[in-house]
Amino acid sequence: MLPQEVIVKKRDGERLTPDEVRFFIQGLTDESITEGQVGAMAMAILLNGMLMDERVAMTEAMRDSGTVLKWDLDGPVIDKHSTGGVGDNVSLMLAPALAACGAYVPMISGRGLGHTGGTLDKFDSIPGYRTQPDLDLLYKVTKEVGCAIIGQTPDIAPADKRFYGIRDVTGTVESIDLITASILSKKLAAGLDALVLDVKVGTGAFMATPEDADGLARSLVEVANGAGCNTSALITDMNEPLATAAGNALEVANAASFLLMEDIDPRLWDVTVALGGEALYLSGIEASAQEGRAKMEAAFRSGAAAERFDKMVAALGGPVGFLDDFERHLAVAPVKRDIHAERPGYVTRIDTRGVGLTVVELGGGRVRAADPIDYSVGLDMLAGRGALVDEEAPIARIHAKSEADADRAEARLRQAYRIEDQPKPDYPTLKGRIG
């Protein structure tokens, strides 16, 4: 079999056999297929698409390009994936709560991409926390604590890393087929029994329209189930930041307050509990998503989720008893500035992508992959849609490393918010389920 033969077949819109897909992914992994050939195949897939059996074959081949974790535990292994947003720190609360409910959660997460924040960057703001442990430590912490939130190791789906790098420079990132295989190959390599997906839609999401979000959700759900993992997706709103904080240390502090039941953002609570309930249902721990939600709520209210979070942080090298004094451990920006509306009114629209880019410009995200991150900077006290903003209630508080940075952030943030005399109807956070 020759790579060019497989490329030509897909170029001409024909269906690839599972053997042809596996051959191509093997060549991608061992680099016997050139970057030019990989780029040509990616463009052929982008233009002509793949049928469902081709998507499943590609996802499984990429999953199997490296280590697939095997577990010997007394409960189901489950995980969650979000397509990315602003102020989306759900994983920090969700994983320990699921562990408190009897699940095991080896959560392989990513770093920030574009205007969206990354779970690993948030954990990197916790001193000592190891986001890149070896597999032995991942197994140990997952078994003993019930959850471990880490980054992709070189052993996990190596084909995806090379494929994504080539797609990034050949204009083929947007392919739903390849997005599906990229996301699921890493998740399914964790040896999951069940997976719940959070597909974002709105001004701060990669899927800006309901049609695009629905298409991606259906592709992910059908392929994951086709590959043997019980999976469903919730479509959730990203027309405003999910939490009232955006920025790494600030989102960790927000999550800590949530886990301690001291200060909880309502939209964040709704999404976290709904995803957890769905996961407990998919894994068979509970008979319905509604019962799963009730169990999640109990895990938070009892303090069991907070206890698991503290144990996970310590087991992966972070401070012992982190939640007892979390503010002492997190970096603080030297400049803080409250931003008030020019006249009193109600927030009617938010350019959430603009809010995320404000954090990036402050230094809390990356323009290039190698850029360092300032974990202290970002935004909190973010007003949501429908909120009244006036001389008492700000649009947001900026945390910056200099007054000049705060000036630039203020200008961008004001552009991202629309303030009007009357509030508009509220919009639901949970927009639908695919499963």
- Given the DSSP bridges, would you call strands 194-201 and 230-237 parallel, antiparallel or unpaired? parallel
DSSP 140-158: HHHHHHSEEEEEPPTTS-H
Q: What is the C-alpha separation between 38 and 27, in angstroms, rounded?
A: 9
**Catalytic residue list:** 79-82, 119, 167, 182, 186-187
What's the rounded Cα separation, in Å, for the pair 196 and 77?
12
Q: Where do runs of H (alpha helix) occur along 125-209?
A: 135-145, 158-168, 176-188
Q: Could you tell me the sign of the dihedral formed by the alpha carbons of 292, 294, 300, 303, in that order?
A: negative
Q: Write the secondary structure of 363-404 as one string of H (helix), E (strand) and C (coil).
A: HHCCCCCCCCCCCCCEEECCCCCCCEECCCCCCEEEEECCHH
Residue 51 one-letter amino acid? L
Closest CA to 188 of 141, 231, 142: 231
To 10 degrees, what angle do helices 352-359 and 403-416 make? 170
CB 231 within 8 A of CB 197: yes
- DSSP-based three-state secondary structure for 102: coil
Is the separation of the CB atoms in 423 and 348 below 8 Å?
yes
Torsion over CA of 258, 259, 260 and 263, rounded to 10 degrees?
0
* Cα–Cα distance for residue pair 107/276, rounded to 1 Å: 14
CB 429 within 8 A of CB 269: no
Alpha carbons 33 and 21: distance in angstroms, whole number: 13
Q: From residue 66, give the alpha-carbon distance in Å to each of 84, 131, 161, 191, 406.
A: 25, 19, 11, 12, 44
